[in-house]
Structure formats: C-alpha cells, structure tokens
C-alpha cells in the first residue's frame, strides 16, 4: 500500500493496535479486489477466445483447422496440460473412437493416432452426454470412476478431467476433453461455462460440415445424373442414327418389294391372262383350272405385297396429334360398310361424344380394320350387331372397344392374333390376309396404349384398346 496513505491513516488511529487492525482489513479488501480484477480479466480473455472461435466459423476453414486452433487457445487460456477433440467412430455404439485434434504440453505424451475402446461408455454414459451432461473430475482417483475408465485416462497421464459433449444436431459426435496431467485440479464454474460455450459453437462447425457433406453429395449426385443424361443422349443419338439407317433400309426394301417383285408378278399375271384369252379352248379342264389358280395366286401375292407396304407405312409414318372425334369416324366407316352391301341387315350401336388425342389418319385405319373384321365375322349371324363404345378403368383411363356377336374364336390362340399373317379362321369361310390386326396393334402401340381381346366361339369378340400410357389419366 502507498506509504503516504499509510502515514495519514496512522495519524487518524488512536493507537498502534488499531492501526495494524485497519491495515489488515484494507489488505484483505485489496486482495479481494485483485481477485475480482483477475477474474474479470480472465472472463474478458475467455470472451475474446470465444469471439475468435465464432469468427473462425464464418471463415472458409475446414473442421480440422477450427478444432486445432480452438484446442490451442483453450489450453493456453485455461492453462491446461492437454485439450483435444475426441470423435466416436460411426456405428461403434459410442465405445470406440480417437482424438482428431489436440494441443498438449510437451512434457506429456500425445493422445493422437491412438484408437480408444471403452466398453463401458456406450451403455452407461453415451445417453447422458447426448442430453448435455458435463463431467468435471478434480482427481480421477478420488471421484468414484470405474476401473476401466481410470485405466483409459491413466494411459494418457490424466489426473483431472473436464469433458463436454460435442453434438452434431441431436447426435453425440464426440467429446471436448480438457486434461490436467501434472496434478489434481478443481474446475471453476467460469471454466466449465467457458468450455460449454466453446463446445456449443464447435457443434455449429460440425453441423456446417454435415450440411456441406450433404450438399457435396447432392452436387455429386446431380453431376452423375447429368453425366448419365449426357450418356443417354449420346446413346439416343446413336440409336437415332441407327434407326434412320434402318428406315432407309426399310424404304429400300419397300421400293424393292413394290417394284422388283411386282414386275415378275405382272408378267405371270399378264401371260396367264393371255393364255386364257388365246389358248383357253385348247386346254383341257385340268389345264384351265391350273391357269385359274395361277392367276388367283399372283393376284393374292399382289394383295399381300400391298398389305405389307401398308403395314410398313403405319410403322414409319410421322404422327400428327390432335383431338379426334372417334364416334364420328366409327359412324362414317359403318355407313360405308352398309353402303357396300345395302341389302344386308345389321344393327350398329355407336356411343356418341367419344374423342381421343391422336393421329386422325392412323386412328381411322385402326377403326376401319376393327369394324371391317366385325362386319366380316358377323356375316353368317342371323341377327348381327356391331358396337363401338368406351368404358373407364379403375385408374380413370378411357378404354375403347369394338364388340360383335359373330363367329368369335378360341382364346387359347389369342396370343397369335396380332402377328402379321396370323389367322384363326379358314380362308374359305372368312377371306383375309391376317394383316389388319397387326396394323391395329402397331397403331395402338405408337400411341402409347395397348390392345387385348375377349372372345368365345360363335359368341362374338370384343377388342379393347387404350391410346395413352398406363400411368397417364385423361
């Protein structure tokens, strides 16, 4: 204390004993003030350290650098022998892990790069730490710790221990460990509060890391998806080139069929016609029959060529989608059929107001084939009936149908029905080349729909078809 101040105080006292008592009281007060000043100074330093931790979280640093810088500052500020960040291994049940960052007094060994297994931790302590429990041990030998816990701490020369959980969201990621190795240590409330604040801000860094990893994973996933799309586009481009080449080959084949095959057929038909006109009377009945069969076969071959070319055009032609009035198309086709055989009595039932999005030209070909088939296969029925209508599936999809009460067929052979040149009836009973239903199938397929049939011998057939993919509702 200042000597001048002491002299003035002594003059105010009535005797030496009172002066000494006053001097002792003032000394104790000054010591308390100094302790408060030191405590305030320590708090200021802690807040500065905490501010630096927060500032580092705003910088583009990785978690490892943040942990290392924080460990160094905390150890210097608390004058501890070791400060480290311990991480649990994923899926280890909080029993295994290692220190990932550390700052340690050179007089003591490092805890880094040592795998640690504590069989007791996961069952006994993990849940409590996950709920925010803090452990402040002044002396590991006088705190009631289990033998296995003491053994683990002793291998790192720990005497006093302050442990705060490091949480990643709600998950216990690891522990902030502050060790005193040289001697026991009573941890002050301000030190525990400081360590808790440091851990809470490190948790933000862990959360940022998790978000960054998730973001990087999503970016990588998107890049991989974009690469997959690029590869798919390249593959589609190659397929388009191949398809164009196939179409050219089909066009060349169609040209060959249309011209090269027709020429010899025309010759056969022409010479057989000349044979009929010039030499018919010279032929015996057997020869005349042969000539008639030759002419019929060549004409049938010509019709087959026409059918194949029409089927090819259905597959290759461009589509122009628009809203098509199916009811009107069906009505026009039925009118044409009736006009072709006006004496034939038949009942038509066409549901009105049926429309669909599609290619009007192809949809007309589709209905022509189905209605022509119904017209043909009801020709021997005493009370023929042809119906065109629509129903709705369970998924809300429109299903169109053409139904007749004609010859029908055995459903055992239904799988053959939509293949080119496949027939289920005798040519003498019901003429045809077996191309119509193959054409219908391709038209439906090009619209993204499907076609199926239900039939029974002599009880008619019903052809159902859709014009949109299964998952699309209209």
**DSSP string over 45-92:** HHHHHHHHHHHHHTSS--HHHHHHHHHHHHHHHHT-SEEEEEEEPTTS
Chain-centre distance for alpha carbon 86: 36
Six-digit token string for 55? 């500032």
**pLDDT attached to residue 361:** 85
State yes or no: pLDDT of 209 exceeds 90: no
Gap between the Cα atoms of 372 and 386, Å rounded: 10
167 beta partners:
172
**pLDDT attached to residue 273:** 82
Burial of 457: CB neighbours in 10 Å, binned 0-12, 13-18, 19+: exposed
State yes or no: pLDDT of 282 exceeds 70: yes
State yes or no: pLDDT of 159 exceeds 90: yes
**Residue 355: which of 331, 392, 323 has the closest Cα?**
323
Mean pLDDT, range 272-284, rounded to an integer: 81
Q: 394 in the Ramachandran plot: left (φ > 0), alpha (ψ -120 to 50) or beta?
A: alpha
pLDDT digits (tens, 9 = 90+) for 357-373: 998 888 988 998 899 88
164 beta partners:
176
Q: Which residue has the higher pLDDT, 258 or 114?
A: 114
The two beta strands, 347-350 and 385-392, are parallel
**pLDDT attached to residue 112:** 87
Q: Are 259 and 266 in contact (CB under 8 A)?
A: no
Average pLDDT score over the chain: 81
- What percentage of the chain exceeds 90 in pLDDT? 22
Q: Which residue has the higher pLDDT, 306 or 72?
A: 72
pLDDT digits (tens, 9 = 90+) for 298-338: 877 776 677 667 666 666 667 888 999 999 999 999 999 89
Contacts of 142 (CB under 8 A, 6+ apart): 184
**Residue 196: which of 157, 167, 164, 153 has the closest Cα?**
164
Q: Which residue has the higher pLDDT, 37 or 228?
A: 228
**pLDDT confidence of 279, banded at 50, 70, 90?**
confident
Q: Give the CA-trace dihedral at 284, 289, 292, 293, to 10 degrees.
A: -140
pLDDT digits (tens, 9 = 90+) for 19-66: 677 667 777 777 776 766 666 666 656 556 655 655 555 555 577 888
- Of 268-282, 343-357, 437-451, give the lowest mean pLDDT range: 268-282
**pLDDT confidence of 474, banded at 50, 70, 90?**
very low
- Of 254-263, 327-336, 338-347, 384-393, give the lowest mean pLDDT range: 254-263
Six-digit token string for 251? 């066009």
The two beta strands, 347-350 and 355-359, are unpaired
- To the question of pTM greater than 0.85 for the whole model, the response is no
Q: Are 453 and 461 in contact (CB under 8 A)?
A: yes
Q: DSSP character for 112?
A: B
**pLDDT attached to residue 371:** 93
Q: Are 386 and 378 in contact (CB under 8 A)?
A: yes
Q: 113 in the Ramachandran plot: left (φ > 0), alpha (ψ -120 to 50) or beta?
A: left
- What percentage of the chain exceeds 70 in pLDDT? 77
DSSP string, 297-358: HHHHHHHHHHHHHHHHHHHHS---EEEEEHHHHHHHHHHHHHHHSTT---EEEE-TT-EEEE
Specify the 3-state DSSP secondary structure of 18: helix
Mean pLDDT, range 144-159, rounded to an integer: 87
- Of 104-108, 145-149, 236-240, 304-308, give the lowest mean pLDDT range: 304-308
The two beta strands, 171-180 and 385-392, are unpaired
Mean pLDDT, range 431-448, rounded to an integer: 80
84 beta partners:
102, 177
Gap between the Cα atoms of 414 and 160, Å rounded: 86
Exposure string over 116-132, b if 16+ CB within 10 A, otherwise e: bebeebbeebbeebeee
**pLDDT confidence of 175, banded at 50, 70, 90?**
very high
Is the alpha carbon torsion for 335, 336, 342, 345 positive or negative?
Answer: negative
């Amino acid at each position: 204390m200042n000597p001048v101040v002491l002299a003035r105080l002594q003059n105010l006292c009535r005797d030496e004993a009172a002066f000494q008592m006053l001097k002792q009281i003032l000394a104790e007060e000054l010591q308390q003030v100094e302790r408060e000043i030191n405590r305030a100074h320590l708090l200021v330093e802690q807040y500065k350290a905490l501010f630096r931790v927060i500032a580092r979280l705003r910088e583009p640093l990785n978690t490892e650098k943040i942990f290392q810088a924080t460990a160094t500052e905390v150890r210097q500020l608390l004058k501890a022998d070791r400060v480290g960040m311990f991480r649990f291994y994923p899926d280890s049940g909080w029993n295994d892990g290692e220190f990932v960052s550390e700052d340690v007094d050179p007089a003591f060994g490092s805890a880094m790069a040592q795998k640690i297994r504590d069989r007791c931790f996961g069952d006994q302590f993990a849940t409590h730490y996950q709920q925010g429990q803090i452990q402040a041990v002044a002396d590991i030998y006088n705190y009631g710790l289990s033998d296995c816990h003491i053994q683990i701490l002793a291998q790192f020369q720990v005497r006093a221990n302050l442990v705060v959980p490091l949480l990643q969201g709600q998950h216990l990621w690891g522990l902030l460990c502050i060790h005193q190795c040289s001697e026991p240590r009573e941890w002050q409330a301000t030190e525990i509060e400081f360590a808790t604040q440091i851990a809470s801000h490190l948790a933000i860094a862990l959360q940022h890391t998790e978000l960054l990893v998730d973001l990087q994973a999503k970016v990588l996933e998107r890049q991989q998806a974009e690469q997959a799309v690029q590869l798919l586009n390249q593959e589609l481009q190659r397929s388009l080139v191949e398809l164009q080449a196939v179409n050219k080959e089909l066009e060349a084949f169609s040209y060959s069929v249309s011209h090269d095959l027709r020429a010899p057929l025309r010759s056969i038909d022409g010479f057989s016609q000349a044979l009929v006109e010039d030499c018919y009377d010279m032929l015996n009945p057997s020869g005349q029959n042969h000539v008639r069969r030759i002419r019929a076969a060549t004409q049938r071959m010509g019709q087959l060529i026409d059918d194949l070319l029409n089927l090819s055009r259905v597959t290759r032609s461009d589509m122009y989608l628009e809203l098509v009035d199916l009811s009107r198309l069906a009505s026009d086709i039925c009118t044409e059929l009736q006009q072709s055989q006006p004496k034939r009595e038949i009942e038509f039932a066409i549901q009105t107001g049926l429309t669909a999005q599609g290619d009007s030209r192809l949809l007309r070909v589709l209905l022509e084939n189905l209605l022509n088939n119904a017209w043909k296969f009801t020709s021997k029925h005493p009370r023929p009936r042809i119906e065109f209508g629509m129903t709705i599936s369970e998924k809300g999809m429109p299903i169109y149908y053409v139904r007749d009460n004609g010859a029908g067929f055995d459903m055992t052979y239904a799988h053959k029905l939509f293949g080119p040149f496949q027939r289920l009836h005798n040519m003498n009973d019901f003429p045809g080349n077996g191309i119509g239903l193959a054409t219908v199938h391709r038209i439906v397929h090009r619209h993204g729909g499907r076609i199926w049939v239900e039939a029974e011998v002599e009880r008619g057939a019903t052809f159902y078809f859709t014009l949109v993919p299964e998952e699309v509702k209209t």
